[in-house]
Chains A and B, each alone.
Chain A
């Protein structure tokens, strides 16, 4: 079984976020990047399938040279191969453009199951995975906390609100967008990292995928015009002073609430 995992490399969760010079994204120079946390759960879910049987796990990412580090990490965790779509024309492509690229890779790979994270920590969009499924004509499920594979189908549990779960059965081929917390993600072992250096990373351009005219940023139907720090609304009364002074003020407030 061929299992594909879609990976996005995003700014590290503790990275400093400064708006860039033209005000349309953040300043990416000199900040740390990491695999989108949701996607790490997707990689883990795929590796568990591999551990259980005969799955080949291919990780796919789109982005500039720095993305290689994310792919190497996933290979170090145990993925078999990587595909890196590295093409300046794809930089800034909207969700549908990225979905078209991922769908083309999935077709080329003949993926039976596609895993992705529910959303990305940077743009918080949760847009791409169901788009990929639609483009391929695959059934899909999002926000998945548990998977149970049989020969021809996957039964998944989707997280709804208030602790409810929706159980859905998807025939293969299918796409599953994993919710964070679905599993305990393994770390890349030292041995894994050493082995990863020998694993293949196929670098592709949009032209290689036959998408030069259809999936580049020039085709965007959605454009980010401006990124900014939100105006503060009714913000909190900020207590200031030494620790003792601040704590004293808080205790007074708690007394006023009748809780002391």
Chain B
């Protein structure tokens, strides 16, 4: 295998855990040489850290033009680094940054592309990867030929914790951009703070009807002294407002008890709740991915179980 270029992502002034997961994935490929890439402004120290904590020789694009993420700047920087390092595999995390820029790199290099992979290994003239499809219901084994760009699912692997030799090397390239960064906006707080609840009862698409949330889901949350949540499709359909959404694009929660009713368990939901202390899943589909993160599962109609559970909880409290 050849050289693997690992693209770091900086969040809140530090290199993200997901970037060290990429390092671990790259280091797991037999015979590969690992190189890093750090893009930003005033990121020399972070690049040194990346170089010494697993990425090895690390290219740094340190430029005021890269102070904020910009698709054109990142696209140009990564293409230049791919060329400078001679990498035949470029790894990036499948985050809002990764899904914005990674496909552009592959199209620009006219090479293979695999997104949101959970595993990567060397292959015959390319790489072999595994990824989830159909919202986690099936897995796919994918092989590539020649140079490959791959984005990896954050959290699918563990972060690299070893050290490495290799200094940093400045890379300067044309970073002119067509797209223009304006600002980052933080959505206004709405008072629904699920992160403080001890118990969350969330409903998904399986609840089937917006009126069933106040009728079925909220009463169980109330009985348990907890809060009501929802999965993304519920919020997208306008059944509940965005503040109720649990998941990577909503609230990340870890209550003492999380009850998921009619939620199949798309990865973006699992990311938001899998750290909960105790998870109960209620779903008609025995193959629903939610059962893989649950402690206890009930394969049944939520309309039978949830109201009965509300009554039983009330009775138990006396």
Contact = CB atoms under 8 A, between A and B. Distances in A.
Interface of A: 11, 13, 17, 19, 26, 37, 94-96, 99, 118-119, 121-135, 139-143, 155, 157-171, 174, 179-181, 184, 221-230, 232-239, 243-244, 246-248, 250-251, 253-255, 257-260
A119 B153 CA distance: 15
Contacts of A168: 70-71, 179-182
Given A139-B71, A243-B305, A124 B133 contact: yes
A90 to B, nearest CB: 17
Q: A-B pairs with the 4 shortest C-beta distances?
A: A181-B236, A236-B297, A236-B294, A221-B112
A167 B184 contact: yes
Nearest to A135: B107
Interface in B146-205: 146, 177-187, 198-199, 205
B32 to A, nearest CB: 19
Given A237-B295, A247-B305, A95 B103 contact: yes
Contacts of A139: 71-72, 177-179
13 contacts: A96-B106, A96-B107, A124-B133, A139-B178, A158-B96, A164-B184, A168-B71, A168-B180, A222-B114, A236-B291, A236-B292, A243-B304, A260-B313
A222 B281 contact: no
Contact of B297 (A118, A127, A238, A258): A238
A221 B312 CA distance: 57
B69 A166 contact: yes
B67 interface: no
B278 A235 contact: no
Given A165-B187, A222-B142, A236-B281, A17 B257 contact: no
A24 B278 CA distance: 36
Most buried by B among A99, A171, A221, A248: A221
B184 A124 contact: no
B259 to A, nearest CB: 9
A253 B296 contact: yes
B135 interface: yes
A181 B235 contact: yes
B149 to A, nearest CB: 10
Nearest to A99: B107
A251 B316 contact: yes
B313 A126 contact: no
Q: Per DSSP, are chain B's interface residues mostly helix, strand or loop, or mixed?
A: mixed
Contacts of A37: 236
Contacts of A124: 115-116, 131-135
B178 A170 contact: yes
Nearest to B187: A163
A133 B249 CA distance: 25
A260 B132 contact: no
Given A163-B250, A227-B140, A239-B296, 13 more contacts: A124-B132, A126-B99, A129-B103, A130-B99, A130-B102, A132-B107, A134-B103, A140-B179, A143-B100, A161-B96, A168-B180, A221-B112, A222-B113
Contacts of A253: 278, 280, 296
B108 interface: yes
A179 B235 CA distance: 12
Interface of B: 69-72, 75, 95-96, 99-104, 106-108, 110-116, 126, 131-146, 177-187, 198-199, 205, 224-225, 232-233, 235-236, 238, 242, 248-250, 252, 256-257, 277-281, 286-287, 289, 291-292, 294-300, 304-305, 308-309, 312-313, 316-317
Nearest to B295: A236
Contact of B181 (A166, A225, A236): A166
A221 B142 CA distance: 10
A139 B74 CA distance: 12
Contacts of A234: 292
A142 B185 CA distance: 16
Contacts of A121: 134-135
Given A164-B187, A221-B145, A169 B182 contact: yes
Most buried by B among A26, A130, A131: A130
A200 to B, nearest CB: 30
A142 B99 contact: yes
Contacts of B296: 236-239, 250, 253
B236 A238 contact: no
Contact of B316 (A26, A126, A129, A255): A255
Most buried by A among B100, B114, B141, B279: B100
A229 B138 contact: yes
B198 A259 contact: yes
B314 to A, nearest CB: 10
A169 B70 CA distance: 11
A130 B113 CA distance: 12
A162 B252 contact: yes
Given A99-B107, A222-B114, A251-B316, A227 B292 contact: no
Nearest to B243: A163
A139 B73 CA distance: 11
Given A17-B134, A226-B140, A230-B138, A158 B100 contact: yes
Nearest to A250: B309
B64 to A, nearest CB: 18
Contacts of B289: 230
